[in-house]
Amino acid sequence: MSKRPLMAKKIAAYVGMPLLFSLIIAGLIGGLYVGVLEDRLADGLSVFFAASGNSDAEPESLYDGPVMGIGETVDAEKVTIPAFGTQYAEIVCERIGLQCPLYYGDSDSVLKKGAGQTLKSMMPGFGQPTMASGHNNREFNRLKNIVEGDVIQVHTNYGTYEYEVSGTEVITITEFDEQLLLEKRDRLILYTCYPFDTLGLTRNRFFVYAEKIAGPTVVFH
């Protein structure tokens, strides 16, 4: 056997293969970091879960698009309380380029698709805060550019709500004051993991607080 093919094999084994695997791993991390590859894989795997009869596979969306001109109030009977994991609204902040589906519930599977409203808060218009979370490597990464005075819209089937950002803060998960969700005022609270571009788990969260400036109040009869 000549030495040249042997040398080529050694180069392939000691240089080519490590390089190839490095590129593959870098590609995987990069793809997951921007959320693209994860979505593709999740889409592929969901085929198997759906086929096995898992009812949590793909919840129905209640959201039909923005509704304008509702007025100051909306009858409670016209408001549908969604099932857990159902999209019922869309969060938009034009200045920072945020456009994100809002789901009812905030489980891990929900947060892989968009923002999730905790059941321990209220839907917009019910006179108490609405709190939603989202992953920092998806749409909520754009929250890093939000500033006081920005307007956030929440489009629902029963009206469009506008909130003006009153402040932001970074706190740990144990520092969040749950009493905020018991207040008797309509406001929007959004949060995501902080720092925004961190690759590992963190105990810090970036919170956005916004006060309602427009949108119908849900009234009961």
Partner 1 sequence: MKKVFAILLAVLMLSTLCLPAFAASDINADEQRILDLLEEIATGHHGADMELHAVDVNQAKAFFMKNEIDIPEEDADAIIAEVEKAFDLVVKSGLKEEDLGKLDAEDKEELLAIANEAGSYVNVTVSYDAAEHETHFVYTDDETGETTVVGTTSNIIKVTGADYTMLFVVLSAAVLAVAALAVVVKKTACAK
Is cis: bond before 59, omega within 30 of 0? no
By rule CB under 8 A, what string of x and - marks binding of each residue 32-71 to partner 1?
xx---xx--xx------------xx-----x---------
Residue 99: CB partners within 8 Å, gap ≥ 6?
90, 91, 92, 139
Q: Is 85 in the site for partner 1 (CB under 8 A)?
A: yes
By rule CB under 8 A, what string of x and - marks binding of each residue 106-145 to partner 1?
xxx--xx---x-xxxxx---x-x----xxxxx--x-----
Among 22, 198, 213, 214, binds partner 1 (CB under 8 A): 198
> Could you give the CA distance from residue 161 to residue 114 in angstroms, rounded to a whole number?
19
Structure tokens at 110: 């929900």
Going from the C-alpha of 214 to that of each of 55, 155, 171, the distances in angstroms are: 37, 12, 28
Nearer to partner 1, 86 or 99 (CB): 86
Among 49, 67, 96, 105, binds partner 1 (CB under 8 A): 105
| Contact in structure between 194 and 141 (CB atoms under 8 Å) | no
Tell me the window of 3-11, 63-71, 146-154, 172-180 that interacts with partner 1 (CB under 8 A).
Answer: 172-180
Q: Which of 65, 63, 66 is nearest to 82 (CA)?
A: 63
Q: Which residue has the tokens 């009858």?
A: 75
Nearer to partner 1, 10 or 120 (CB): 120
Structure tokens at 78: 């016209």
- CA dihedral angle for residue 135, residue 141, residue 147, residue 153, rounded to 10 degrees: -60
Q: Is 9 in the site for partner 1 (CB under 8 A)?
A: no
Q: Is 12 in the site for partner 1 (CB under 8 A)?
A: no
Q: Which residues contact partner 1 (rule: CB under 8 A)?
A: 21, 24-25, 28-29, 32-33, 37-38, 41-42, 55-56, 62, 76-86, 105-108, 111-112, 116, 118-122, 126, 128, 133-137, 140, 173, 176, 178-179, 181-182, 191-193, 198-202, 205, 218, 220-221
